Structure 1
Amino acid sequence: MVTGGLEQFVAALYESGILPAAEIQAFFDSLAEQECPASAEDLAGQMIRRGMLTPFQARALIDGKARGLVLGSYVVLDRLGKGGMGRLFRCMHRQMKRVVALKVLPPSSMKSQHSVERFQREVEAMARLSHPNIVTAFDAGEDKGLRFLAMEYVDGSNLGSLIADRGPLPVPTAVEYVLQAAQGLEYAHWHGMVHRDVKPENLILDWRGIVKVLDLGIVGLVAGLSEPGSGDSVETSERRVAYGTPDYMAPEQSTDSGPLGPACDVYSLGCTLYFLLLGRPVFDGDTAEAKVMAHRFQPAPSLRAARPDVPVALDRLFQQMLAKRPEDRPATMGEVIAELQRCRALLPVADRDTSHSPSIFDDQDAADVHDAATLPLPLPGRGAASGSESSGKQAAGPRRRLARILAGLAVAGVFLLGMALGSWWRDSGHGRLVVDIQGPHVTVRVLDAHGDIVVDCPSATGRLGFTLPAGFYRLIVRSSETERLNEDINLAPSQSVVIQSPSEGARNASL
């Protein structure tokens, strides 16, 4: 008789609502005698390998945390991190099969009327925004006592992480990224919103090279712009500092001198430009207070003193953006955009962003950068990833990152991998997996020999191509009703494996 942890896991699985009860029962009925799990970990591992659960979901169920794995119409897939106002999760909309980033306000914060009101303002503010350089808001709701905001899920890396991995950027690349951020911020300003926490970590670069402004959860709806006559135009310095980051905070943001306007975003964007070019903040300081005081009283350094390749015009713009008084900075973000465009015109064409843009082939030996689609969450006994993990496990990181990027290209409809890669994959110990999907949208997952998800396409159709390091993989193709394919693949170097996944049956042909 099955008792203890396994029984609790099964109960939590049904309670969570992640999967229909009929699908869970069909899975149990399909198990052969020798496949019957002896523990919750065994059962979780089997369901992960079949693509029925993500590692995060399995871990939550084992820990007895089934509540909250489904919020409204959204199924939680993975945890992304903590933002300024709540926790971030990667989720999928049940009906639309759309993957989103879901921002959840902590239950403890619901006790504060100010936090609830601020969350409501955020929802209303983001609903008015539609711009390629701003993360899109799709939906908002409340379920199980939790308020949430569904936003565009961006597959990429924030600029802070990019600099940590690769160091300072070439001048043309930095100008291009800051220009795109300025265009998104200008649009927000037009709609009466000020970000108030512009920094590299709040600017994400997607796989197409597009920069998007993140974390509008700390957006300030400025009196006189969006809330005239609200009577709350002046905030305390304590609350202002809570909304900002000391390394990028405008001088007026740490005082009670008056309402904040777009000029504080101009200042913070100038600090971001400095960081992208130098790889360090504008001012040093051992404490947050020391940094805040430096922004208020120390003169801005020269970009050209540290980077002689910076045009004089760009250094001059930087100095203007970091003026201590808001009225001495460019009056609008539109003026910043115009100056950045003039500076870009001064730069050599050959050095512009296309020649220095991040490439999926760069930094193959760099540390793994996980996103929600590939975040491994090993179960007990399988060796949880940590800072002291073995070199063998570390070596798998770049493989997963490369697989994720190529998966994104395939799902987006960019099927020119053969032309883009040329013969690279044939000479680098990699093989190619091609999955031919017949029929409507399905979920395609590829797991490596460790059981980690290296490809996760939640809504795939047509012909998909993935370039993967040679090795053993498991391919899982599922429709909303049933598992259509579950097949082990031994991908050899320079080999191309084509998998046909029709409505019924499967056919594998190796070239």
Structure 2
Amino acid sequence: MHAEPTAELVGLLERLGLASADRVRSVRSRVAGLARDLPLFESVWVDALLQCRVLTPYQAAEINAGRGEALAIGPYVIGRRIGSAGYADWFLARHRDSGARVRLALASACAERFSERLQALGELARMAGVAEIGSLAPVTDAGGDQGRLWAACRYEPGPTAAEWLVRNGRFPAEAVLDIARQIAIALRALESLGMVHGDLAAANAVLADRGDVVLSQPGLRQILRPEEGPSRADLQPEAYDYLAPERVANGSPPNTASEIFACGCLWWHLLTGRPPFAGGDALTKLRMAQEAKISDVRLLAPDAPRVLADAIAAAVQRDPRSRPQSMRQLAEMLGPPSRHGREVLRRCLAGLSGDAAAWAMPARAVRRWQESAVWLSVTGGCLVAAVALGWSLWQAAAANQPQLRSVNDAREAALPSHAPAATAIETPVETVVAGVGPAGAGPLALPGQERPVADRTVKPAPDEAGRRKNELVLPCDSPVALEAEHIQPGHTVRGEAGKRPMVVVAGAALTLLQENVRFENVDFVWKADPQSAPTRPAIIEVRASRVAFQGCSFQSAQPGRPLPAAIAWKWPIDPGEAERSLPSAEIRIGDCVFRHVMTGVACEARGALAFRFDNSIYLGRGPLLELGHYPRVDEPVVVRLDRVTLRESGPLVHCPWRPGEQPGVVSIAAEGCVFAPADRTALVRIASSRVPEELLGRIRWSGQGSLLSPDAAVIHWQDREGRVHPVDDAAMSIDGLVRSEVEFAGPFGPSPASSRVTGWQGPLQSSAAPGAVPERLPEPRG
């Protein structure tokens, strides 16, 4: 039992400059309270010093672990850990003599290069005097100790751009423009000194409360890690977010051209809320950086100022010669910072780190509030009267509007006058209801029924402000034949609250031309006459770059042939657009069930394509994803699957390939999936005139925790006669795929509950069952 602190503890704290012997002894009463009847171990003294805020949590943990001496780095003592960039760890530290706070980088170095890098760090620190401007926090001190290199720069309080993004989402466009202008000015100053930052990242851009952007430790990464490339994929994935393609291909150090590319990627990230190449591991990031093309930022951030969007587009050109040739040129494209942009940025920061509002009001403010209350009451009364008047006018106008009806409602309207009247469907003010039947032809009849007579076209009802709402609400009492003309860009198409609409496609596919449409909890049923069905039928034909389906089901009411594709994706509408540029497009499918269909997504789109499948079950005969052609070298395809189940189905991906064309990369990332296709079926099937050996290195599989049934192959080759041949997959990059027998809760059937995984043999990192979660899935209706 130590009634007094040990001499070793007191000596350590004095050497670190954290506490004197008297200060340590002053917490004796707190130590006694913590220990109670237990001995006064050294750790109890450390905990008491922590509670009295003499030590930080990080310091206390290191001292208790016996690593207290390691808190001293040169003339600094570490206070807390900030983060890690992979090549260095970041700490908040304090100078033991002056008490100045610094941002400290700590890195290890091999003995052969230790002296060389230590000398380079010293030269970088000597440049601090000329590089010390408001938007830069250069290395001001550096050294080496016991095989470790360290570098210090001034500490700037405030969140980093990465932290702000995590808490708030993407930045306002005007704020990004101001950030970009400040960064360009700072990098132009570095360029005049013959320097580059070399590690532009959202995590290295500190946002000060006054609205300044501070780039920390310019030049450090190129000293500690001058080369990058596929052979050096040992950092965290985000460390490669802004890497220029020529650096990956050549392993070259950073220069002005790569710095300009990084600027474009950083600003793209701040505008959209995600990096240009989101997701994937380090190797996938490197491959995408080398091979993929970054899409126009206005596709995800349409509010981006034109000057900023143009600067980003110029900066992220794959060919360095096509980018601006200097930071000065890039800064001139952006223009100088504006007072308005700085104010927008300040408001963003105030929302994150501003002081909490006070509960109490000054007496003067209370009096002003009491005086204002009278005027607020009068204003509120006028507002209520205006709303009441507007409501009555709207009701009168609505009485003269034609009603929208479902298939059954329209059928009842055509009955003789002595038949029972159909129940009217009311249209809420805040939503619109879909029309029925093809444009100008009235509602569709189900197979075997006559076409009823009904109203032809109806416009969506405006709200009180005269603007159309972004929801299209479908009736749920009976099947609906949805008209594409009633769907507007950005619409969410759903049923009435708590109900699921059934959309019947009885002929040609429902054609969707509008962008950013989202279908929620809709059951799509194909009920076409087999004799008159198209050669390659589809339930929905998408001719837009972005669409999402959440909680939907797709099925054919006639399980025999021909079966439709659930979704046919044909984009862009002008094929020449894909030749002139590389557009990007994305389709998202979550909590969906595919049953009695030939294909999940039949894709004839061109460009940089992304497919996202989350928690879905595919029970179709053919592939979940069918590509119209194998992508070219400038058409990256990314397929992401999270908790997807394939059961008694065709392959995951099928595509034809024409030998002689330079193939692009198909990246497939699967997390927690179950692939149990039909017997002797492969995950990937390539149709070609010869064995697709050139493609094996271009199809890359990543992820973790996914199961593949033992009798399924990874890749098959389908020849011209339709015969299927196995292909050796040894040359493919496959990670996170485990072969295992899989047991399901029930026999193969339409109910998602029967496809719950109840048993497997392969080793997985998690004890949770892989595959789709049935509770989140709809029960298909037919």
Normalised-by-shorter TM-score class: 0.5 to 0.7
TM-score, normalised to structure 1, is 0.59
> How does 1:134-149 map onto structure 2 within 5 Å?
134-143=136-145, 146-149=148-151
Q: How far apart in 1 are the matches of 2:331 and 2:325?
A: 11
Separation in 2 of the partners of 1:167 and 1:33?
Answer: 43
Report deviation, 1:319: 1.3
Match of residue 192 from structure 1: 194
- The answer to whether the 8 Å contact 2:82/2:92 transfers is yes
Q: What is the alpha-carbon distance in structure 2 between the residues aligned to residue 26 and residue 330 of structure 1?
A: 59
- The separation in 2 between residues aligned to 1:121 and 1:216, in whole angstroms, is 13
* Whole-Å separation in 2 of the counterparts to 1:123 and 1:308: 45
Match of 2:222 in 1: 220
2:21 is matched with which residue: 13, 20, 24? Answer: 24
**TM superposition shift of 1:185:** 1.9
One-letter amino acid matched to 2:8: A
CA 1:19–1:427: 2 relative to 1, 3 Å: farther
**Matches of 2:87 and 2:30 in 1, distance apart?**
48
Q: Shift of residue 20 of structure 1?
A: 6.6
Shift of 1:328: 1.1
* Aligned pair partner of 2:276 in 278, 282, 285: 282
CA distance in structure 1 between the partners assigned to 2:17 and 2:277 by the alignment: 55
1:68 matched to 2:65: no
**Aligned residue for 2:102?**
100
Q: Please tell me the residue identity of whatever aligns with 1:199.
A: A
Alpha carbons of structure 1 residues 237 and 291: separation in structure 2 relative to 1, 3 Å: closer
Higher relative contact order (CA 8 A, sep 6+): 1
Residue 119 of structure 2 aligns with an amino acid whose one-letter code is Q
Which of 426, 441, 448 in structure 1 is aligned with 2:360? Answer: 426
- Check whether the contact 1:48–1:55 (CA below 8 A) recurs between aligned residues: yes
Shift of 1:31: 4.2
CA distance, structure 2, for counterparts of residue 26 and residue 424 of structure 1: 35
Equivalence map 1:19-58=2 (5 Å): 23-25=20-22, 27-28=24-25, 31=28, 35=32, 38-58=40-60
**Structure 1 counterpart of 2:320, from 326, 331, 339:** 326
Q: Which of these residues, 328, 331, 336, is aligned with residue 337 of structure 1?
A: 331
Displacement of 1:322 in angstroms is: 1.0
Alpha carbons of structure 1 residues 16 and 82: separation in structure 2 relative to 1, 3 Å: farther
Q: Tell me the distance in 2 between the aligned counterparts of 1:262 and 1:21.
A: 43
Q: For residues 198 and 329 of structure 1, what CA distance do their matches in structure 2 show?
A: 17
Separation in 2, partners of 1:22, 1:279: 44
Amino acid at match of 1:424: A
Partners of 1:300 and 1:145 lie apart in 2 by 40
Q: CA deviation at 1:189?
A: 2.4
Alpha-carbon distance in structure 2 between the residues aligned to 1:329 and 1:213: 22
* Contact kept in structure 2, 1:16 and 1:70, CA below 8 Å: no
Q: CA deviation at 1:263?
A: 0.8
Which residue identity lines up with residue 317 of structure 2 in the other structure? A
User: Aligned pairs, how many?
Assistant: 351
- Relative to structure 1, the CA distance from residue 94 to residue 284 in structure 2 (aligned partners, 3 Å threshold; closer, same or farther) is closer
Farther off after superposition, 35-44 or 20-29: 20-29
Tell me, yes or no, if the aligned pair for 2:87 and 2:107 is still in contact at 8 Å: yes
Could you give the per-residue CA deviations for residues 301-347 of structure 1, whole angstroms, max 9, x where no partner exists?
A: 222233332233332222111111111111111111111117x67xx
2:308 aligns with 314
Q: Residues of 2 paired with 1:138 and 1:25: CA distance?
A: 34
Please report how far the alpha carbon of residue 276 of structure 1 lies from its aligned counterpart in structure 2 after TM superposition.
Answer: 0.7
Deviations 1:155-199 (A, max 9, x none): 111112211211111111001112212222222222222333322
The residue aligned with 2:153 is: 151
Which residue identity is paired with 1:14? Answer: G
In the TM superposition, what is the alpha-carbon distance from 1:289 to its structure 2 partner?
4.0
SS in structure 2 opposite 1:193? coil
Paired-residue identity, %: 23
Answer whether contact 1:17 1:70 (CA < 8 A) is retained. Answer: no
User: What code does the residue aligned with 2:195 have?
Assistant: M
| Greater percentage in helix | 1
Q: How has the CA–CA distance of structure 1 residues 239 and 15 changed in structure 2, closer, same or farther, with 3 Å as cutoff?
A: same
Partner of 1:410: none
What amino acid is the match of 1:426?
A
CA contact (8 A) 2:143 2:149 kept: yes
Call closer, same or farther: CA 1:220–1:44 in 2, change over 3 Å.
closer
2:46 match: secondary structure: helix
Deviation at 1:58, TM superposition (A): 2.1
Q: Confirm whether residue 245 of structure 1 aligns to residue 242 of structure 2.
A: no
**Distance 1:236-1:198 versus aligned 2 partners, 3 A rule:** closer
User: Following the alignment from structure 1 to structure 2, what is the Cα–Cα distance between the partners of residues 310 and 185?
Assistant: 22
Q: What's the C-alpha RMSD, in Å, of the aligned pairs? A: 3.7
Question: Where in structure 2 are the equivalents of 1:358-437 lying within 5 Å?
Answer: 358=347, 362=351, 424-426=358-360
Structure 1 unmatched runs, 5+: 222-233, 364-401, 407-420, 429-511
Please state whether the residue corresponding to 1:426 is helix, strand or coil: coil
Against the structure 1 CA distance between its residues 284 and 138, is the aligned structure 2 distance closer, same or farther, given a 3 Å change threshold? closer
Which has the higher Rg, Structure 1 or Structure 2? 2
Aligned to 1:172: 174
Superposed displacement of residue 274, structure 1: 0.8
Greater CA deviation, 29-38 or 192-201? 29-38
Give me the whole-angstrom Cα distance separating, in 2, the residues matched to 1:34 and 1:292. Answer: 53
**How far off its partner does 1:142 sit?**
3.8
The equivalent position to 1:353 in structure 2, one of 315, 326, 342, is 342
Please state whether the residue corresponding to 1:213 is helix, strand or coil.
Answer: strand
Distance 2:254 2:47 in 1: 52
Deviation at 1:283, TM superposition (A): 3.2
| Separation in 2, partners of 1:216, 1:59 | 31
Partner of 1:14: 11
The SS at the match of 1:216 is coil
**In the aligned structure 1, how far is the partner of 2:294 from the partner of 2:350?**
37
**Partner Cα separation in structure 2 for residue 361 and residue 323 of structure 1:** 35
Partner-residue secondary structure (3-state), 1:188: helix
Cα distance in 2 for residues equivalent to 1:197 and 1:20: 33
Other structure's SS at 1:272 match: helix
Change (3 A) 1:16 1:168: same
Contact 1:267 1:322 in 2 (8 A): yes
CA contact (8 A) 2:135 2:212 kept: yes
SS of 1:357's equivalent in the other structure is helix
User: What is the alpha-carbon distance in structure 2 between the residues aligned to residue 34 and residue 47 of structure 1?
Assistant: 9
Letter in 1 for 2:301: R
Q: Provide structure 2 residue ranges, at least 5 long, that are not aligned to the other structure.
A: 363-782
The more displaced of 181-190 and 286-295 is 286-295
Question: 260, 264, 273: which is aligned to 2:267?
Answer: 273
TM-score by length of 2: 0.40
Query: Cα 1:140–1:274, aligned 2, differ >3 Å: closer, same or farther?
Result: same
Greater mean alpha carbon deviation, residues 46-55 or residues 325-334: 46-55
